[in-house]
Structure 1
Amino acid sequence: MEANKIEEIKEDQVAVMLKNIPVLDDLFTIHSKIGEGSFSTVFLGFRKNQNGRDRKKYAIKYLVPICHPSRIERELQCLKDIGGQDNVAGLELCLRSGGYVAFIMPFIGHNEFSEYVHKMETDELREYMRALLTALSRVHSFKIIHRDIKPSNFLYNRIKKKYLLVDFGLAQKYVPSQPSTQNPAKTPVPNNVPAAKKRKVDENKMDTTLKSTNIVSVEKCYCFGKPKVCSLCLIRPSQTAPRAGTPGYRPPEVLLKYPAQTPAIDIWASGIIMLCMLSETHPFFRAPDDTTALAEIVSIFGSTAMQHCAKRLGKKLMFGSDIPEINLATLCLKLQERNRAKQPPVERVYKSYPDEAYELLGRLLDINFKTRITAEEALLHPFLNP
């Protein structure tokens, strides 16, 4: 596309935003578009002073009108409550005109991930991961799951050493599950009821409960692994679980549709970012769908470990052959060598990361989300505290 045509499109987008939210034109001079997502477009704006001259820079996030009000409210609440410290983006102002909304946030000039993913020395990697996990520790302390951790949502200015976690459009409130102390299928029976009647009442109540909730797990299914679906499986309730996030950064529990998801989702994604830097490979996973993404994870962690992981989530995985586990440090070193071989000899930089870095990587990429390290625990890890 010609440069003039691109500029016309950008100007049209700015014009549409200013038409829908006229007060923006009174407060800001819109310079250019600096980002775009499924539900928003981000512009660089300069605050006007009384003389009409440009002053401070801001990131203006213009949300598309099809964005659900509850989504806008959730993102606004996150920016307002959590943002402004610990490397989390804050909110300066929110403007609304009819069904159109714009968030005004601090702006930092940042480098693209592709510019430094191949150049991270140990100290810079340590500072980056410490900053990211500090931001996640704050977000998780508010019982919020970001759900879209990736390099483009963690802005990094290499010269000024500034970091900013942005985009809470997919964030969700996390409610820790409480262990059940009672069996819902059983109803207490008065002590003065004869034993025979007690048994009859219990059985009838259990049967009624199972029928009313479509629970058929008491009957064994014989269609597993066969090219057909039995009548028992057809009446089972459909599996539903949140799967928001960017492909390549989703953990096993999301890919396996486990409903009780936790902030460990964000920790896995931060581990993928660290894996990209340690292996000098980006993107690391390139799967077009969840099934292929699961296969890519299996190729690293092995079929046996993934079968145990699936079992803990109430799922079952089957493989045609046994797939061995690959040591993460060995994998990263081989990928580093492969990438260096593609570079001219004068540009090859040989880096050596300490064992503690790979140990932290393994804790971040623990396929069992219940034992996966938390952000708070990771900040105490020896790699981040040499």
Structure 2
Amino acid sequence: MKKQQVQAKAKAKTTEKQTKLNQNSNDRYYPDLLIDEDAYLRNNYKVVRELGRGGYGVVYKGYAYHNGQEDKAKKYAIKVNFSTVSPELIFAEIGFLKLVQGKENLPQLVNLFLTNQKIYIVTEYFSFDPFITFFSTFNMQEIKDYLRELLKALLILKQNGIYHRDVKPGNFLYNPKLKKGILIDYGLSEIDKSFVNNMVESGGNTQELRQRKQLYEDIMKTIAQIGHNKIGTESFMPLESILHYQEQSYEVDIWAVGVIFLQFLTRKYNLFSNVRMVHKPAVSKNLFYVNFILELTSLFGAEAITKICNKFGYNLNLPSVVAKTPINWRSVIHVEGFDDKAEDLLTQLLELDPQKRIKVEDALQHPFFQQ
């Protein structure tokens, strides 16, 4: 009886610690994801606050913890997924983190641990400012610095056969003082099969290369199980993704860079309403985002939108009242320094046809960045 009382007190104490820390974050809205402080302490981490959350999980800031002492010189970002996230998605994300280990502008995996059937992903902590705190005040040079860092991250991914598929400000952590950024969250990322095929054909039989090839193949098998071409945040996805066009690749990420560029230039955080008006045309097997189409039409004109939708297999009948021709960017952009070079880069990033959209290598070499 006495032993049971001691156990009950210990359990109550643990719950109290969880609830106390829980009240300092938004976790009280997610009862299946209370912060288990002991789980972190047992693995030598001390959680101090929540950094952010998305559709798949929550990320916390933590310090190294040894012998009852915090080591604040060693900072980490610790991600724990919601219970609704499939093991396949978690495995794929861990695989991507291993593939980009040691690469600049990308998160660095430090540790993995399993507690109470939850996988905790530990990466190096990166100090950043939220996008909303600076996007409306950046001058053109600061915008260039930001975009260059983002494009560098995408180039490194491409050099490793990866396209991200969920590029947005919330997934690109940027430090304005250091002029450095890292691209995080690989839950929707995919692998370029041609890249892996070239790896195999190029030969080489070292143990490291064999292990890397195997990791690529394991990730591709996992993605095949959960499905290809998953849509990220709709307001940063191009038409080929929204309309579920089969041929999607690195160009999906380039479009998102264009949307972010336009956010800077218009000083507008929400460019698209992101409201799904679901409709099923007779020729379509997929969901049709009517509201998004109309918003794009206001920028690119009915003729261009109709043409690209036809290419993707959609017969589009737009209202006669919508604009036929594209908008003049100079009429909505008044940021000092928005010259011909900036306009040309914006136009190439936001090219509706993915086959004509600028490549990441060419974007980094664009005259806009050479000024």
> If the length of structure 1 is used for normalisation, what is the TM-score?
0.73
- Please give the secondary structure, in 2, of the residue aligned with 1:111: coil
Equivalent residue, structure 2, for 1:186: none
8 A Cα contact 1:44 1:59, kept in partner: yes
Equivalent residue, structure 1, for 2:266: 279
- The amino acid across from 1:374 in the alignment is K
8 A Cα contact 2:24 2:49, kept in partner: no
Cα distance in 1 between the residues matched to 2:148 and 2:21: 42
Cα distance in 2 between the residues matched to 1:163 and 1:103: 20
Equivalent residue, structure 1, for 2:36: 18
Cα distance in 1 between the residues matched to 2:119 and 2:141: 40
Equivalent residue, structure 1, for 2:145: 127
Q: Is residue 325 from structure 1 mapped to residue 325 from structure 2 by the alignment?
A: yes
Q: Is residue 269 from structure 1 mapped to residue 238 from structure 2 by the alignment?
A: no
Of stretches 67-76 and 319-328 in structure 1, the one that deviates more from structure 2 is 319-328
Equivalent residue, structure 2, for 1:207: none
Q: Which runs of 5+ in 2 are unaligned?
A: 1-19, 196-226, 277-288
Equivalent residue, structure 2, for 1:45: 62
Going from structure 1 to structure 2, the CA distance change for 1:165 and 1:15 (only over 3 Å counts) comes to closer
- The amino acid across from 1:303 in the alignment is A
8 A Cα contact 2:113 2:120, kept in partner: yes
Cα distance in 2 between the residues matched to 1:26 and 1:301: 53
8 A Cα contact 1:10 1:32, kept in partner: no
Match of 1:255 among 230, 239, 242: 242
Going from structure 1 to structure 2, the CA distance change for 1:373 and 1:6 (only over 3 Å counts) comes to same
Match of 1:363 among 319, 330, 348: 348
- The amino acid across from 2:56 in the alignment is F
8 A Cα contact 1:145 1:171, kept in partner: yes
- Please give the secondary structure, in 1, of the residue aligned with 2:78: strand
Tell me the CA shift for residue 17 of structure 1. 4.2
Q: Is residue 76 from structure 1 mapped to residue 94 from structure 2 by the alignment?
A: yes
Cα distance in 2 between the residues matched to 1:64 and 1:162: 29
- The amino acid across from 2:308 in the alignment is C
Q: Which runs of 5+ in 1 are unaligned?
A: 178-239, 337-349
Going from structure 1 to structure 2, the CA distance change for 1:67 and 1:351 (only over 3 Å counts) comes to same
Matches within 5 A, 1:223-242: 242=229
Cα distance in 1 between the residues matched to 2:359 and 2:21: 49
Equivalent residue, structure 2, for 1:222: none
- Please give the secondary structure, in 2, of the residue aligned with 1:31: strand
8 A Cα contact 1:153 1:167, kept in partner: yes
8 A Cα contact 1:303 1:324, kept in partner: yes
Cα distance in 1 between the residues matched to 2:356 and 2:41: 47
Q: Which has the higher helix share?
A: 2
Equivalent residue, structure 1, for 2:157: 139
Tell me the CA shift for residue 287 of structure 1. 3.1
Tell me the CA shift for residue 241 of structure 1. 7.3
- The amino acid across from 1:93 in the alignment is N
Runs of 4+ in 1 over 6 A off after TM superposition: 11-15
- The amino acid across from 2:50 in the alignment is K
- The amino acid across from 2:246 in the alignment is P
Cα distance in 2 between the residues matched to 1:124 and 1:173: 32
Going from structure 1 to structure 2, the CA distance change for 1:109 and 1:8 (only over 3 Å counts) comes to closer
8 A Cα contact 1:255 1:291, kept in partner: no
Going from structure 1 to structure 2, the CA distance change for 1:311 and 1:18 (only over 3 Å counts) comes to same
What are the Cα deviations for residues 217-263 of structure 1, in whole angstroms up to 9, with x where unaligned?
xxxxxxxxxxxxxxxxxxxxxxx973421121111111222122111
Cα distance in 2 between the residues matched to 1:151 and 1:367: 21
Tell me which structure has the larger Cα radius of gyration: 1
Equivalent residue, structure 2, for 1:54: 71
